[in-house]
Chains A and B, each alone.
Chain A
Amino acid sequence: MEQYKLFIDGKFVDAASGKTFQSIDPGSGAPIATVAQAGKEDAEAAIAAARRAFDKGEWGKMSVQARAAKVRDFADQVARQGLRLAATESMDAGQVISLAKFMPLISVTLLRNLSLAAATKFPWEEEIPVSGNAFAPGREYIRREPIGVCVGIVPWNYPMYIAIWKITPALCMGNTIVLKPASVTPLTACILAEAAKAAGIPDGVINVIPGPGGELGKVLCTHPDVDKIAFTGSTEIGREIMRMASATVKKVSLELGGKSANIILDDADMDLAVEGACFGTFFHQGQVCSSGTRVLVPSKIYDQFIEKMKKRAEMLRVGYQLDPTSHLGPLVSKEQLATVERYVKIGKEEGAELITGGKRVEVPGMPEGNYFAPTIFANANNKMRIAQEEIFGPVVCVIKYDSDEEAVAIANDSIYGLAGGVFSSNNARAQRAAAGVRTGTMWINNYHIFSDFCPFGGYKQSGIGRDFGLECLHEYTQMKRIHVNSMAHSHTNMFFQLLSDYKKVDGFGYSCPTNVVAGHGALSSISKAIVDLGCKRALILTDPGVKAAGLADLVKNALADFCIGVFDKIPADPDLEAVDAATEAARESKADCIVSVGGGSVIDTAKGVCVTLKNGGKANDYLNFMVLTEPQTPHIAIPTTSGTGSEVTNIAVLTSHGAGRKLFIVDPKIIPNVAILDPRFTLGLPKLLTVTTAMDAMTHAIEAMTSIMSNLICDGMALQAIRLIKENLLIVAKDGNDEKARINLQVAATMAGWAFTIPQVGLAHAMAHTIGALHHVHHGAACGILLPKVMRYNVDHCADKLSQVAQAMGVNTAGMSERDAALAAADAVEALMKKVDHPMRLRDVGVPEENLPICAFHAIVDTARIFNGRPVSDPNEILEVYKQAY
């Protein structure tokens, strides 16, 4: 009789206790081998060896390719042992030889396929192009690493193949493993250990310890040096393993029981369905966790089906497993035979109709064999124990149903959810049924098909995790996220500054890629711009006022054949629905380019349209910060005001009725491709709108400079914008047709847009957003009224910048302190506003004084406040500024 030892740390050893046990041939009842019986001490030694091999050995540190090559060497050794493995598997586990002969082959293919996949397809490192955190720029990537010491606990139905299920991913992903085979079928695992040794798998990487589950399980599942447990077995044991593993929070994957439904639809090919039902149940004596032991058959074909299935079951030959003519071999053990008999008795007591089988089979010359006849219970109902509890023998219940929906409901009426089948001549109908069943696998017009790259595992109490495929490789890795800060200095880190008094963010990235064409007649450049963008179908978006002023027609004529239409329904303060309506128009007209003609509302709407048109869905899907990864629908912006700078910025402000406020898309991918600044588009702008939009631009420029994220490039843009506004606004206020001053204001607004698109804005905007939302005050007017007050509020934090503003505003700061110069800047802004008849107080624009406190509470949570040069966290301070502006 053959003798097998434990395999620990690369050595074949006796059990520390010296104990052995016999493995029995279930077909003959004869002992076929003596096996060392591992105990607690051996389990601890195996875990220690696996730990050493993982922590200090070469396995986990090898390149993935080198490790895959070693796994292929192991596969070669398995192939060399193929005949021995097949014969031993058959004798030890009772698999008929016609099945067992495939086990080495499919084990080799699994080893080869998954090792290659691990080396070539598995995402060991994965970049995260968009982190979702706009305030901490940097490279973000995922690195997957081995877990460590894995324990594989293998059942007795497929002792070799399921051992390979556990060993293969563990090894391919750089882990080490302690394998505990089932005590009734330990032999092929021991032969696999020999194959590993012959392949040169490093010592300790694979350890095999046959022994009693109850004793070894406690050690394996509680030992602090074990990192993962992969178990295939019963739900009762799996639950206990999970509980034990929880004490040290081990990773656990469990493939547990099943009571799968095999649904025969009324249009199924009858012969195929009968074969599928018999194969799904009687294959390997029904000792398969995915067995379709509840066959669901429509009432109208039930009798015919039962008759055919009975006939087919009675044709199956039960015999010794090494006899190549046997269809079914023995059950694995006396205990399993007793269990199956017990359930047959229960089925009869429950009132199911036993139509065939239900008894032991005597195989000539094998009186001690555990043979049982294929057994069918007809007229079973799904509440019976034989329909709810897994039997793990060649026993099937055939249950009637009257509709597809009822069949799916019966299939789902189980604590399990491992597998199932649907037989139908209509794939669409079968797929609908398959989709409705809550299981991890559904086969259509087939059964028991396992494939190396197709995941297998359970819903509900059938387990967690998956075997096979890239999914199982993931199960044997840890995921590590690595963040590489783009600005490695404490003064560039907004989060570190939460614990610091230094609030300025130094360091910056600058990318403002809009192609600007400016000057009288610049509109003519639009057709070339369209061609350069690779577009042919431009849709003009505008508002009714601009359309009525004839400006949209100017653009339409300039576009000539490229224009496919004009959508002129964009309202002031656009909401998400406005974007969706415009997007729908763009979709219907098959637009490939958006031309926005208008103020900030139109251009911001167009930005939303470009995103929604490109990515599908609705505008609400994209309200977020820096999540877009690709260029959006091309956008040409033609501003008709000199204020928002939206033609060059990365922000779109849109009203969300769901959120009850204005929200944003902030993303460099929404910056328009082209901005055309043609003074003809602002010549007709009324004086009040001219001065209020100009003060919006002024506020952009000054708040960009006083932002905690201000930078030298943007400061330069801002100062030039301030100068241009200061020098030209008064001219335009007096003579709206002064083209030179108009173009200068347009450029100023664009430069102010560039100035704030990186640093963002500050408290004046936060407060103006609130006034606009609650009291419908024009945004530019609100900004203008609040700006000088906020400049004074910020003076002790931004005096250096504000003193530069003073100079840009023409203040002679010679002899002034920086602080006085800063205060003079605020005075100069107010003086300019007065000269151009800009509203000076909130009361002038209809804000009720009693509402100022609520405005303060809204403003404190506005995003723009975050960037203000002076940290502001107290709504009372904001209220004070509101009062000053009142």
Chain B
Amino acid sequence: MERTIPQVKLESGAGRAASQFLNEKGINRSLRIDLRFTGCCDASLCLRVDDIGEGDLYMEADGLTFIMDTEVYRLAGGVAIAYVEEKDRKGFLLTSERPVSEWEGFGVSDIQV
């Protein structure tokens, strides 16, 4: 069953960067806001190319479809997605209503394919 995520906020430029990434890869699929673990303590939120599954929440914004596992949404709440493009730092920065770790918003990540 599909339900809408009430709060996914795309900061300026984030939607365009995500669309560009998907277009360049020739991907026409959804973006999952997912939990991931990159080692020794503290999970983080990331964007991952995926298809909607049973029990997923979804929302459309800037022509993109975002999906989120119900449990992940229950943990993190609403999510803001920014795109950072600095001299030596480039990627998506996800912050949530209820931070999933004390380091949330510290590091950037690419879209996982």
CB neighbours of B42 from chain A (8 A): 155-156, 182, 213, 233-234, 237
Binds B, one of A103-111, A385-393, A523-531, A854-862: A385-393
CB neighbours of A184 from chain B (8 A): 102
| Cβ–Cβ contact B88 & A213, under 8 A | no
Closest Cβ of chain B to A69, distance in Å, is 34
| Cβ–Cβ contact A213 & B103, under 8 A | yes
Contact with A along B40-80 (1 / 0, CB 8 A): 11111000000001000000000000000101101100000
| Cβ–Cβ contact B100 & A335, under 8 A | yes
| Cβ–Cβ contact B35 & A390, under 8 A | no
Closest Cβ of chain A to B51, distance in Å, is 11
Smallest CB-CB separation from B104: which chain A residue?
A214
Known: A183-B102, A240-B106, A335-B100. A235 touches B71 (CB 8 A): no
Smallest CB-CB separation from A349: which chain B residue?
B53
CB neighbours of A235 from chain B (8 A): 38-40
| Cβ–Cβ contact A342 & B102, under 8 A | no
Closest Cβ of chain B to A157, distance in Å, is 6
Closest Cβ of chain A to B72, distance in Å, is 6
Known: A243-B88, A339-B35, A349-B53. A232 touches B40 (CB 8 A): yes
CB neighbours of A258 from chain B (8 A): 39-40
Interface size class of A (residues with CB under 8 A): 35 or more
**Complex Cα gap A235–B53 (Å):** 29
| Cβ–Cβ contact A462 & B75, under 8 A | no
The verdict on A456 contacting chain B, using a C-beta distance below 8 Å, is: no
| Cβ–Cβ contact A389 & B36, under 8 A | yes
Known: A217-B103, A338-B75. A234 touches B35 (CB 8 A): no
**Complex Cα gap A289–B40 (Å):** 5
Smallest CB-CB separation from A212: which chain B residue?
B102
Smallest CB-CB separation from A336: which chain B residue?
B43
The verdict on B21 contacting chain A, using a C-beta distance below 8 Å, is: no
**Complex Cα gap A583–B36 (Å):** 62
Chain A CB count within 10 A is highest, among B74, B104, B107, for: B107
Contact with B along A377-403 (1 / 0, CB 8 A): 000000000000111100000000000
**Complex Cα gap A239–B66 (Å):** 27
The verdict on A255 contacting chain B, using a C-beta distance below 8 Å, is: yes
Contact with B along A4-40 (1 / 0, CB 8 A): 0000000000000000000000000000000000000
| Cβ–Cβ contact B38 & A390, under 8 A | yes
Known: A234-B41, A243-B89, A349-B53. A214 touches B105 (CB 8 A): yes
Residues of B within 8 A of A (CB-CB), count = 30
CB neighbours of A213 from chain B (8 A): 42, 101-103, 106
Contact with B along A578-600 (1 / 0, CB 8 A): 00000000000000000000000
CB neighbours of B74 from chain A (8 A): 338
The verdict on B109 contacting chain A, using a C-beta distance below 8 Å, is: yes
| Cβ–Cβ contact A338 & B72, under 8 A | yes
CB neighbours of B109 from chain A (8 A): 236
| Cβ–Cβ contact A341 & B102, under 8 A | no
Interface residues of B in 92-108 (CB under 8 A from A): 99-108
The verdict on A334 contacting chain B, using a C-beta distance below 8 Å, is: yes
B69, B75, B106: the one within 8 Å of A237 (CB): B106
Interface residues of A in 306-342 (CB under 8 A from B): 334-336, 338-339, 341-342
CB neighbours of A334 from chain B (8 A): 75
**Complex Cα gap A287–B34 (Å):** 20
| Cβ–Cβ contact B102 & A462, under 8 A | no
Chain B CB count within 10 A is highest, among A156, A182, A236, A255, for: A236
CB neighbours of B35 from chain A (8 A): 338-339, 342
Contact with B along A509-537 (1 / 0, CB 8 A): 00000000000000000000000000000
| Cβ–Cβ contact B41 & A157, under 8 A | yes
Smallest CB-CB separation from B44: which chain A residue?
A236
Smallest CB-CB separation from B48: which chain A residue?
A385
Closest Cβ of chain A to B105, distance in Å, is 5
Closest Cβ of chain B to A722, distance in Å, is 68
Contact with B along A245-263 (1 / 0, CB 8 A): 0100000000111100000
CB neighbours of B53 from chain A (8 A): 349
Known: A334-B75, A342-B72. A392 touches B41 (CB 8 A): yes
A183, A240, A289: the one within 8 Å of B107 (CB): A240
The verdict on A345 contacting chain B, using a C-beta distance below 8 Å, is: yes
Chain A CB count within 10 A is highest, among B39, B99, B100, B107, for: B39
Q: Give me 27 A-to-B residue pairs in the complex whose CB atoms sit less than 8 angstroms apart, sorted by A's number.
A: A155-B40, A213-B101, A213-B102, A213-B103, A214-B103, A214-B104, A232-B40, A233-B42, A234-B39, A234-B41, A234-B103, A236-B107, A237-B38, A237-B42, A237-B107, A240-B107, A240-B108, A243-B88, A257-B37, A289-B40, A334-B75, A338-B72, A338-B100, A343-B37, A345-B71, A390-B37, A392-B41
Known: A246-B88, A338-B75, A389-B38. 13 other contacts (CB 8 A): A182-B42, A213-B101, A214-B106, A235-B38, A256-B39, A256-B40, A336-B43, A338-B71, A349-B53, A390-B37, A390-B38, A392-B39, A392-B40
B contact set with A: CB distance below 8 Å: 34-44, 53, 69, 71-72, 74-75, 88-89, 99-109
